[in-house]
Amino acid sequence: MTKASNRFSAFSAGINQATYYGTTANDTYAGTSDNDLADGNSGDDYLDGAGGNDFLVGERYWELVGNDTLIGGDGNDVLNSLGGVDVLDGGAGTDFVEYIQTYSTYSYLFDVTAMATTTGVTLADGTIIRNVERAHVEAGLGNDTFVGGSGADTFLGGGGNDSAAGGSGETYLSGGAGDDTLSGGGGVDRLSGNEGNDSISGGTHNDFLHGEWGNDTLFGNTGNDRLEGSDGDDLLNDTSGANILQGGSGNDTITSGNLADSIWGGEGGDLINAADGNDTIYDDSNIELRGNDTINAGGGDDIVSIWGGADSIDAGAGQDSFTLWYESESVDLLVDVSQAHTSGGSTFSTGTVIRNAEFFKIYTGSGDDTLVGTVHDDVIETGSGDDSIAGGDGNDSITGGLGYDFIDGGAGNDTIWVAQSDISEGDTLYGGDGNDQLYGTRTGDDFLMGGAGNDSIYGHFGNDTVSYADATAGVTVDLNVAAQTTGGSGNDLLDDIENLIGSDFADNLAGDGADGLMQGLGGNDTVAGSSGHDTISGDDGNDNLSGGTGNDVLNAGAGNDLIQAGAGDDSIDGGLGLDTLSYSTATAAVTVDLVVAVSQATGGAGSDLLQAIEGLIGSGYNDVLSGDGGDNSLDGRAGNDILNGRGGKDILTGKAGLDTFLFETGSGLDVISDFSVADGDLINVNAYTGGVASPGSVTQAGSHVVIDLGSGNMVTVFNASQGDVLSHMVW
pLDDT tens, residue by residue, 63-82: 667 898 999 999 998 999 88
Q: Which of 64-73, 149-158, 361-370 has the highest mean pLDDT?
A: 361-370
pLDDT score, position 62: 66
- Bridge partners (DSSP) of residue 361 are 323, 379
| Domain boundaries 553-563+570-730, corresponding CATH code | 2.150.10.10
Residue 206 has pLDDT above 90, yes or no: no
Residue 446 has pLDDT above 80, yes or no: yes
Q: What is the separation of C-alpha 515 from the centre of its chain, rounded to a whole number of angstroms?
A: 33
Residue of 614, 606, 604 lying closest to 574 (CA atoms): 614
- Bridge partners (DSSP) of residue 585 are none
Residue 623 has pLDDT above 90, yes or no: yes
Pairing between β-strand 19-21 and β-strand 208-210 as defined by DSSP bridges: unpaired
pLDDT tens-digit map of 17-46: 568 888 888 989 888 888 989 888 888 989
Pairing between β-strand 660-662 and β-strand 682-684 as defined by DSSP bridges: parallel
Average pLDDT over residues 658-663: 98
Residue 344 has pLDDT above 50, yes or no: yes
Average pLDDT value for the chain: 90
pLDDT tens-digit map of 557-581: 999 999 999 999 999 999 999 999 9
pLDDT tens-digit map of 380-415: 999 999 999 999 999 999 999 988 899 999 999 999
Please report the DSSP string for 208-221 in residue order: EEE--SSS-EEE--
Helix, strand, coil shares of the chain as percentages rounded to 5?
5, 35, 60
- Bridge partners (DSSP) of residue 120 are none
In this prediction, residue 289 has a pLDDT band, given cuts at 50, 70 and 90, of: low
H or E element: which one contains 686? Answer: helix 686-689
CA angle 676, 679, 684 (to 5 degrees): 70
pLDDT tens-digit map of 255-287: 888 888 888 888 888 888 888 889 888 887 655
pLDDT score, position 13: 43
Q: Domain extents for the chain?
A: 553-563+570-730
CB neighbourhood size of 718 (10 A): 14
